[in-house]
Structure 1
Amino acid sequence: MGDEPLAISIDSSEAGRPRRVTCRLCGRPLTGSESRRTGLGPTCDAKLHPPAPDIRTRRHEVDQDTLPGLGEP
């Protein structure tokens, strides 16, 4: 059993380097840790997951009458 060849070859030159990860959409190399984790670069991630609309821009103040019982005494 000790003389059997290994099923995979172990290359000592790649032992210290991180594995090269590419974007699943465009194939560019990924460098950021978040990009490497998700498998998408920032540009491709923005294409697939656009930011949510900012609903605060749609709010506006409206003049209203004071509710009964809440007015000034």
Structure 2
Amino acid sequence: MGDEPLAIAIDSTPEPGPRRVHCRLCGRPLTGADSRRTGLGPTCDAKLHPPAPDIRTRRHEVEQDTLPGLDDEQ
């Protein structure tokens, strides 16, 4: 065991710069600050957290009687 070479050199220093962060779902490297913070890329985040439905598209006009006192007659 004493004659075996080490797998890494003891005097080697880690690479300078930011640590690489990978997506927790697909494993791709993350580059954006928000993606690095959450640990998910934009595509994987959209899969896990789909956007809420837009309720404005569900609205529609309904015919209503005019309110008393707001007649167009003057």
TM bin, normalised by shorter chain, reads 0.7 to 0.9
Q: Per-residue displacement from partner, 1:26-52 (whole Å, max 9, x unpaired)?
A: 111101111001100011000000011
Identity of aligned residues (%): 78
Equivalent position amino acid for 2:55 in 1? I
Distance, in Å, in 1 between the alignment partners of 2:11 and 2:71 is 80
Distance, in Å, in 2 between the alignment partners of 1:10 and 1:61 is 74
Equivalent position amino acid for 1:64 in 2? Q
RMSD: 2.1
Distance, in Å, in 1 between the alignment partners of 2:51 and 2:65 is 37
Question: Is 1:48–2:27 an aligned residue pair?
Answer: no
Larger Rg belongs to: 2
Deviation at 1:70, TM superposition (A): 3.3
Aligned to 1:20: 20
Give the 3 Å change call, closer, same or farther, for CA 13–40 of structure 1 in structure 2: same
| Matched pairs, number | 64
Aligned to 1:3: none
Richer in helix (by share): 1
